[in-house]
Amino acid sequence: MSQQGIYINATCIIRHQSVDKNRQPVYAHEVPQADLQDFLRGLYDRFSGQYPKFHKMDLLSKLGWAATEILLQDMPMDQYAPEDTGVILANASSSLDTDEKYFDTVQEIASPALFVYTLPNIVIGEISIRHKFKGENAFFVAEQFDIPFVTGYAAQLLESGAVKAVVCGWVEQYHASHEAAFYLMETAPRGMALPFSAETAEKLYR
């Protein structure tokens, strides 16, 4: 059942080193089975301008950051005050990939650059800094992408008037395994302008 006055206006799905935007393929890495770092650098080169901080991020943050860049292309957010946009994300592995890399450095000299990323919600921080978002945010850890829960949480924020737009979804990365599925949900229609329902969000994910 759709919720009146809430729309899914854009989607971005990244998996198997390829990208779909609004259900259309927009990018596939030119080197099959390339290193994940190389794939994410390819996304940065293709979809972003100069943002030197990208190169210092861990892989999880790079994945979520790139997914947001693609999600919001042609969807300017400057119509909103900073506190009017929220970010709600989830994954299964938390920051385990970076935790392992950080633990390896502890044997000699602990790496502050890696320690910064030993919480999964840092990806929200990187997204928010980039886009100047200051609305409500949350990061959940679950065994699988619970689409009704994550998008439903976003819909509640929109219904309550706490925010006017939400970037929400799933951002999972562990070693080479990776998947991002992001939605832009808003109270005004534009872009895809699909009336929101959990069923619609699930169909867009498949």
* pLDDT (tens digit per residue) in 68-77: 999 999 999 9
Distance CA 93, CA 84 (A): 29
- Higher-scoring residue by pLDDT: 60, 109: 60
Q: Domains in the chain, start-ordered, CATH in brackets?
A: 7-205 (3.40.47.10)
Helical ranges in the chain per DSSP H: 36-47, 59-71, 96-106, 112-115, 122-131, 147-160, 198-205
Mean pLDDT of the chain: 95
What's the whole-model pTM score?
A: 0.95
The sign of the torsion formed by the CA atoms of 88, 57, 204, 147 equals negative
Q: What digits encode the pLDDT tens for the residues 32-61?
A: 667 999 999 999 999 987 899 999 999 999
What would the two tokens of residue 2 be?
């759709």
What would the two tokens of residue 114 be?
């890696």
